[in-house]
Chains A and B, each alone.
Chain A
Amino acid sequence: MKKEVTGAQALMLSLIEEGVDTIFGYPGGAIIPVYDALYDFRDKVNHILARHEQGATHAAQGYARVSGKVGVSLVTSGPAATNAITGIADALLDSTPLVVIAGQVGTSLLGTDAFQEIDVVGITQPITKWSYQIRHAKDITWAVARAFYIARNGRPGPVMLDFTKSAQNEMVEFDYKPCTFIRSYLPYPEIRENQIDKAAQLINEAKKPYALVGQGVILANAEKELIDFLEKADIPAASTLLGLSAMPSDFRLNKGFLGMHGNVAPNMKTNECDVLIAIGMRFDDRVTGDLNTYAKQAKIIHMDIDQSEIGKNVPVDAPILGSVKESLPALTAKINSAKHTDWIDSFGEYDKQEYDAVIRNEVYRTEGELTMGEVVNKITEATKNKAVVVTDVGQNQMIAARYFKYTETRSVVTSGGLGTMGFGIPAALGAKVGAPDRTVCLFAGDGGFQMTMQELGTIMQENLGVKIILLDNRFLGMVRQWQELFFDERYSFTHMKNPDFVAIAKSYNIDSRLVTKREELDDAIADMLKDDKPYVLVVEVEQKGMVYPMVPAGSCVTNIIM
């Protein structure tokens, strides 16, 4: 016997059917019926009240990125939906599974410029994988099932459900059927043998094969398949920003970090290899630099689940369409065991150059002002390379990506595609909720910190043990770096007069400490990591630090400033 419930209750029951136990949200007029229904599900669903809807979506992203589950965000109509937009766009560019449910005015008011009405479907279509308006309660179970199926399968991404208030209040028989098939969407393309054969032949003939590892490996849970593949043919590999932690940092064939502020060897070797194997990555411009000079000498194999990525930026000799979870083992089976010792050793020369020119001074400085690099290095050591690292955007992000080390997968949460300043604090609190047993360290700059620092309130209310390291250089550092390098040191509006960050943290009842000297750092880090409580460690670093090496935007990947 099916029971009659309100649409709002049907939504809650549907979310529970999909295994949702955590929601990041913010109530408001057009979603009150859902919040009322949620009140009866407090034992099953942990609702975390953000301080701004942007924070709610970023928190859901952080949660999804570390847990592999779909992040869920619940907000009201109009301004709440528009506030959520940044997180939704971020999730699209970084392929994060997200279901965002926004309230909407009743169907009789749609299109009338009613109070807090906005065209949510129209606004979100360009930045979601799917966007749907629920106008009647009978559509709720269908829409929710479909939303979760679309968000989590294939190349993951954000889905928007625009939930009219009239549908929330209508009565409906609840009968849930999960979605297992959409005739217009094949999330996992079939692996084609001929594509595998062609790629295997290229790899078997290669003298200098080289693999680029992207987030696709992590999203497909194919970390082991990746290692098996690389080891069999002895192929050195490097990671994109979002691919970091797919391979442990100390893995023999892991040669580091690609891109604009990546390691020297991985970028240089892109233009020296004879076969380039891109695995679940999308040749972003921050990785490729100038496409006209990118890996022209190499045969290119591109493994991706998304047909539209293949050939989008780089012409491909051997595409392999499909999930790397399936294509990597298929390819491993067809390649010969090999040794490429000389080729792999040749990375070492560039590593030494980079150490001498950049790393020694950034990470192992003994006098002068503190650097971002040494702070990151001390913290990765103090956490035995086991922490989840979350970053904001800018210099803090690039330095964290360069110097943090990983032993476990899903250890990096950063806004790669959209580059969203303000991502850090909410994403970190979401990550802590998604991985409560892990240490979560956020590196943020003074700019990004102040974009979403109201989320300290969320951290306080939920007592989330997020370790926030604020690298304060009193500048919008990355923009200042560009102004120094490319705009004649004209520091147009990049200097910031900052508040007393320790006092701000303390006003939220969060432990905090200011470090200005090198000799204070170890003690402060130990203090921060002594328990599982939230902490804001404010470190005054050099004002005009630079992130090197650097491939200038649009330049050849081998044109590296150090």
Chain B
Amino acid sequence: METKLYTITVFSENTVGVLNQITIIFTRRGLNIETLSVSPSALPGIHKFTITLFTTPDMVEKVVNQIDKRVDILKAYYNTDEDLVFQELALYKLATEKVLELGSVEYFIRKYNIRVLEISNDCTVFLKAGHYAETQSLFEELSEKVGVLQFIRSGRIAITRSKVERLSDMLEEMQKIQEKQNGNRKV
């Protein structure tokens, strides 16, 4: 079956070992994580994971269900690129003397919409936000023309295009269901 890039979003409690709980599900099925980004979400105490991987529709569905099943996971879902507004960041460290040899950096700034974070005797640092292909193409052009001393790209961060993602509504709903059930069922 044909594979494509999926973006998995996971909301979790901020407890020790959650990342391991998620990654072991990929390990078991022999799946490689392409990018991973973790940070506190808009809700206090809840972390958000954005994971990308190449796989089949069937596999991503099963993996997401198995992540969602974990007790410490609040919610997991997946999207393809069409559903998302997404971004990555990249930093490029260049030798300042080589940059000066170019005579001008205007070309790069205009073409790639980069920001210059640092210029010192030792190095110059560019920052570029963009999709993988964009940060990659800058990397290739810089490598060829200037030489890149260090390069780092962040994992993907993404938000859905569809209506607002209301985790707090979902949490409220879960609480209502459980309170109703606790009334009916002796726990």
Decide if A108 is an interface residue (CB 8 Å cutoff): no
Q: Are B65 and A307 in contact (CB under 8 A)?
A: yes
Give the nearest-CB partner of A129 in chain B.
Answer: B71
- Partner-contacting stretch, out of A175-183, A410-418, A516-524, A529-537: A175-183
With a CB–CB cut-off of 8 A, which chain A residues contact B182? Answer: 180-181
A181-B20 CB under 8 A given contacts A307-B65, A312-B62? no
The distance in angstroms between the C-alpha atoms of A133 and B65, with both chains bound, is 25
Decide if A348 is an interface residue (CB 8 Å cutoff): no
A180-B74 CB under 8 A given contacts A125-B21, A186-B177, A308-B68? no
User: In the complex, which residues 126-183 of chain A have their Cβ closer than 8 Å to any Cβ of chain B?
Assistant: 126, 129-131, 133, 149-150, 153, 178, 180-183
Q: Are B74 and A184 in contact (CB under 8 A)?
A: yes
The distance in angstroms between the C-alpha atoms of A125 and B19, with both chains bound, is 11
The distance in angstroms between the C-alpha atoms of A129 and B73, with both chains bound, is 12
With a CB–CB cut-off of 8 A, which chain A residues contact B66? Answer: 308
Give the nearest-CB partner of A325 in chain B.
Answer: B185
Contacting B13 at CB < 8 Å: which of A153, A184, A188?
A184
Categorize the interface residue count of chain B: 20 to 34
B-contact 0/1 string along A216-253, CB 8 Å cutoff: 00000000000000000000000000000000000000
The distance in angstroms between the C-alpha atoms of A306 and B74, with both chains bound, is 15
A-contact 0/1 string along B171-187, CB 8 Å cutoff: 10011011101100101
The distance in angstroms between the C-alpha atoms of A159 and B29, with both chains bound, is 23
With a CB–CB cut-off of 8 A, which chain A residues contact B17? Answer: 121-122, 125, 131
Q: Are A178 and B187 in contact (CB under 8 A)?
A: yes
Give the nearest-CB partner of A149 in chain B.
Answer: B187
Categorize the interface residue count of chain A: 20 to 34
Contacting B24 at CB < 8 Å: which of A125, A186, A311?
A125
A150-B187 CB under 8 A given contacts A125-B17, A308-B65, A312-B62? no
Nearest-CB distance from B160 to chain A (Å)? 20
Nearest-CB distance from B183 to chain A (Å)? 10
Contacting A185 at CB < 8 Å: which of B71, B181, B187?
B71
Nearest-CB distance from A267 to chain B (Å)? 26
Give the nearest-CB partner of B180 in chain A.
Answer: A190
The distance in angstroms between the C-alpha atoms of A153 and B174, with both chains bound, is 15
With a CB–CB cut-off of 8 A, which chain B residues contact A185? Answer: 71
Decide if B52 is an interface residue (CB 8 Å cutoff): no
Decide if B141 is an interface residue (CB 8 Å cutoff): no
Nearest-CB distance from B28 to chain A (Å)? 7
Nearest-CB distance from A149 to chain B (Å)? 7
With a CB–CB cut-off of 8 A, which chain B residues contact A126? Answer: 24, 28
Nearest-CB distance from B61 to chain A (Å)? 7
With a CB–CB cut-off of 8 A, which chain B residues contact A125? Answer: 17, 20-21, 24
Decide if B4 is an interface residue (CB 8 Å cutoff): no
Give the nearest-CB partner of A186 in chain B.
Answer: B174
Q: Are A184 and B12 in contact (CB under 8 A)?
A: yes
Contacting A183 at CB < 8 Å: which of B21, B74, B187?
B74
With a CB–CB cut-off of 8 A, which chain B residues contact A182? Answer: 71
27 A–B contacts from the bound complex (CB under 8 Å):
A121-B16, A122-B20, A125-B21, A125-B24, A129-B71, A130-B72, A149-B187, A180-B178, A181-B175, A181-B178, A181-B182, A183-B74, A183-B174, A183-B175, A184-B12, A184-B71, A184-B72, A186-B174, A186-B177, A186-B178, A188-B181, A306-B69, A307-B69, A308-B65, A308-B66, A308-B68, A312-B62
Question: B residues touching A (Cβ–Cβ < 8 Å)?
Answer: 12-13, 16-17, 20-21, 24, 28, 61-62, 65-66, 68-69, 71-74, 171, 174-175, 177-179, 181-182, 185, 187
